[in-house]
């Protein structure tokens, strides 16, 4: 579990932002939503140990800054928004996920390879394992990187816009994978611009605005407080009891 208490951090484009309280639990999918520039990506970077902060970020009740980088990487995996098109094959990329467990020695054990192959299978990337990343479509490359963070074998996984470049059908498959991971006890924290999708698949939602959290709760809690939603996004959202809709949450005027 990750707990944030009275945390402030610098912001790339202006004023610092402040988070009084957030909790990310294992076995649950948590989505962070908000307009561009609200601080969502900066928050993930801070929790992942990539930005300095004041206050508290507790990972399994231990202060994040007290972890060595490799120790934190055994607790929290982070997939950024902008992924490099590295000149390596898919299996080699996924093997990088095991770095936190064997450091610079890079000696892959049988157990390492078993975890790598399991991640490839789970993400549907087995048949692509010998393909160069440069040969893949954007969506395939996203799934290859997801396999890498799955192979990192951490209790918590943080994803920044993970469905970028994926078509609708692949997005559905992707979220089914995330549900399986959370069902197996991993905590998933993601930033996602598709709000209906976030509400449909998440156990917990945080709305950020002006670099702070202004609302949190279950998807149904968020929908009930439509005034906050409208103030942030300029539209209302409602839940529909109609299984012909792709998602049970839809925008309204």
In this predicted structure, the answer to whether residue 50 has a pLDDT above a threshold of 80 is yes
- Residue 244 burial (C-beta neighbours within 10 Å; 0-12, 13-18, 19+): exposed
In this predicted structure, the answer to whether residue 14 has a pLDDT above a threshold of 70 is no
* pLDDT one-digit tens code per residue, 94-127: 999 998 887 666 678 889 999 999 999 999 999 9
pLDDT tier at 13, thresholds 50, 70, 90: low
* pLDDT one-digit tens code per residue, 178-209: 999 999 999 999 998 888 889 999 999 999 98
Put simply, whether the predicted model's pTM sits higher than 0.85 gets the answer yes
Q: How many CA atoms lie within 13 A of 18 on its CB side?
A: 4
Sign of CA dihedral 230, 235, 240, 245: negative
pLDDT, residue 108, reads 81
pLDDT tier at 251, thresholds 50, 70, 90: confident
pLDDT, residue 2, reads 97
Cβ(83)–Cβ(159) under 8 Å?
no
CB atoms within 10 A of CB 229: 21
Give the percent of the chain with pLDDT over 70. Answer: 96
What does the alpha-carbon distance between residue 53 and residue 9 come to, in Å, rounded to a whole number?
5
- The mean-pLDDT minimum among 9-18, 39-48, 118-127, 202-211 falls in 9-18
In this predicted structure, the answer to whether residue 167 has a pLDDT above a threshold of 70 is yes
pLDDT, residue 153, reads 95
pLDDT winner (highest mean) among 41-45, 97-101, 153-157, 248-252: 153-157
pLDDT, residue 170, reads 83
- The mean-pLDDT minimum among 20-29, 100-109, 137-146, 154-163 falls in 100-109
pLDDT, residue 241, reads 85
Cβ(3)–Cβ(22) under 8 Å?
yes
Query: Among all chains, which residue has been given the structure tokens 């928004």?
Result: 81
């Amino acid at each position: 579990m990750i707990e944030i208490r009275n945390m402030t951090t610098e912001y790339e484009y202006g004023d610092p932002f402040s988070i009084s309280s957030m909790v990310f639990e294992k076995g649950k999918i948590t989505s962070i939503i908000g307009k561009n520039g609200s601080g969502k990506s900066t928050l993930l970077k801070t929790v992942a140990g990539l930005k300095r902060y004041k206050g508290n970020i507790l990972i399994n009740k231990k202060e994040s800054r007290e972890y060595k980088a490799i120790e934190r990487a055994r607790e929290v995996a982070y997939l950024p928004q902008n992924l490099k098109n590295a000149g390596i094959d898919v299996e080699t990329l996924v093997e990088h996920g095991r770095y936190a467990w064997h450091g610079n020695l890079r000696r892959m054990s049988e157990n390492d390879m078993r975890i790598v192959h399991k991640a490839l299978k789970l993400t549907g990337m087995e048949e692509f394992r010998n393909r160069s990343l440069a040969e893949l479509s954007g969506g395939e490359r996203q799934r290859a990187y997801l396999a890498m963070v799955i192979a990192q074998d951490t209790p918590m996984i943080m994803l920044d816009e993970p469905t970028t470049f994926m078509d609708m059908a692949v997005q559905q498959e992707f979220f089914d994978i995330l549900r399986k991971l959370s069902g197996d006890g991993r905590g998933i924290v993601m930033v996602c611009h598709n709000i209906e999708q976030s509400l449909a698949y998440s156990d917990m939602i945080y709305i950020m605005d002006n670099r702070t959290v202004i609302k949190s709760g279950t998807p149904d809690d968020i929908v009930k407080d439509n005034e906050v939603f409208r103030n942030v996004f300029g539209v209302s959202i409602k839940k529909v009891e109609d299984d012909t809709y792709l998602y049970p949450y839809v925008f309204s005027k």
